[in-house]
Amino acid sequence: MVYLNSLGIAAFAGDPSSSSGKVPYSTNWDVAVQFQPFKNTSIEIAYVGNKGTHLFLPLININDRNTAAITTLESQGIDVTNASVADPLGRRNLQGAVITISRASALSTYLGFDPLNQYFDPRASSIRHAGYIDIRRQVSRGLALTANYTYAKSIDTASDASPDTRVLSTGQARGQVSLGGSLGLDRSISTFDVKNILARRPFGMCHSDADASS
């Protein structure tokens, strides 16, 4: 934010498409068949699908550097990355002193900002296919056994969009698009994908005397 000839707050950018109604949403669909092969036993076989559309990408630095100019300067022994220079635009901080910027940022698209992150880019997407089989058997009155097996596959172009949307608890996974690559190159198995899930558990139902009398 620039005001009173000073640079008071570090800059960030918003994606224009995020203000045109492109908000994240999820679509779900499923089909299931349930039958009873024999007494006291039921089996359910199902397919479940989920698609995420207009999901937010991780932060993307849109302030590309002039790599050709940087390579030329470094070949001449000039430190570009670590060296700082006075702001060529003469911008000042809130105390009135001219700010300093890295020499590399002076060769970037937006002079003096290093980096310039773009928030709320809704170009990411995801798709998940899953099939499961659920078996339930009543062993005796009030006691049942259940077993469930799920086979699934999740694919996306961004598994986490921190700080916009946190999904992972193990850290952020920034893709190639964050470094200027194609978004299509980031389409792969989701970081949080779990292919096989097997669950088995007894399920008990207690019946009180009041319930029996009613």
Q: Tell me: the pLDDT tens digits for 71-120?
A: 888 788 888 777 788 888 777 777 878 888 877 777 788 876 767 788 88
138: left (phi over 0), alpha (psi -120 to 50) or beta: beta
Which two structure tokens, joined as six digits, stand for 79? 């430190």
Return the percent helix, strand and coil in the chain, to nearest 5. 15, 45, 45
Q: Give the count of alpha carbons within 13 A of 128, CB side only.
A: 22
pLDDT in tens, 129-184: 999 999 998 887 778 889 999 999 999 998 877 665 555 555 566 677 777 778 88
Q: What is the Cα 77 distance to its own chain's centre?
A: 40
Contact 117, 59 (CB under 8 A): yes
